[in-house]
Structure 1
């Protein structure tokens, strides 16, 4: 476990989370503001877990964290750090299943996650790269004290770069 809140547990992803990773990356509604193609096969989720998430844990000592709903024990999304080489910074990223939108889960998890950045990621600042139009993610970034700090491109899309000193 990385950290917890009243409703949530933030922890490392594990092999038991492959189905949740597949769903998070295949449901079109979730991917509206994510610049990737939807997954079509669970093997893609296994590859993501092994070649990206576990690789980040191994090489950086941190990476995206599973967000588990304490009451159900279900993984309902992810929240946490990822080093973004194009910006040479650590990003706070988050994604949740639609049935949990609008309940304050995003802000609750993001506050808990960002409180761990300095000690776990060894950084003094965090960014969030938010695609144009993603008002929900912008709201979460603002609720954790991030402010817009210019515009850029990421993965071929326009983004607002939110920033916060830790």
Structure 2
């Protein structure tokens, strides 16, 4: 398995099929998928294996990046994902995360995604990265702003209004609002 980067508390690495039980575990709580639009997509080990095999492993091969496993160093447990996705809906790269609720409120989402941004600035050819968060999801909005992302636009999808945030990785500053 390929380690991408580390923080004081986390290892960020590529997923393997052996991570399927952990993927199922962090996707199972209802509150994890409240604003994602994919509630009920991962309810069995087979679903988790398919996500790893058919999405993440494919994206690693195709783009050189994808969502990466977030591993707590103290327990060597996969607690969620973070990282980038080539988001075809917006023809741009998105940064995102998902953590099991047991790990919420500890700054881990910010820590993991800051490590991804730092990694991308050094090792990836990305200009602007976007993050979408439902306007009701104050936790994710806080993570985006702590990462230095700035409000870009807003859109409606289903029952939710989403805020889009952006950051320029080439200058290290905020992305243009145009």
Number of the residue aligned with 1:141: 144
Flag the 1:13–1:156 CA change in 2: closer, same or farther, 3 A: farther
Question: Between Structure 1 and Structure 2, how many residues are aligned?
Answer: 166
Number of the residue aligned with 2:172: none
Number of the residue aligned with 2:20: 18
Gaps of 5+ in 1: none
Task: Say whether residues 1:76 and 2:82 are aligned partners.
Answer: no
Number of the residue aligned with 1:2: 4
Deviates more, 1:36-45 or 1:142-151: 36-45
Question: Which of residues 92, 99, 102 in structure 1 aligns to 2:102?
Answer: 99
The within-5 A match list for 1:14-163 is 14-38=16-40, 39-153=42-156, 157-163=160-166
Distance 1:155 1:110 in 2: 27
Flag the 1:102–1:126 CA change in 2: closer, same or farther, 3 A: same
String of CA shifts for 1:132-155, please: whole Å, max 9, x gaps. 311001101111100110112457
Distance 2:88 2:65 in 1: 14
Gaps of 5+ in 2: 170-178
CA RMSD of aligned residues (A): 1.5
Provide the TM-score with structure 2 as the length reference: 0.88
Query: Relative CO higher for 1 or 2, CA cutoff 8 Å, sep ≥ 6?
Result: 1
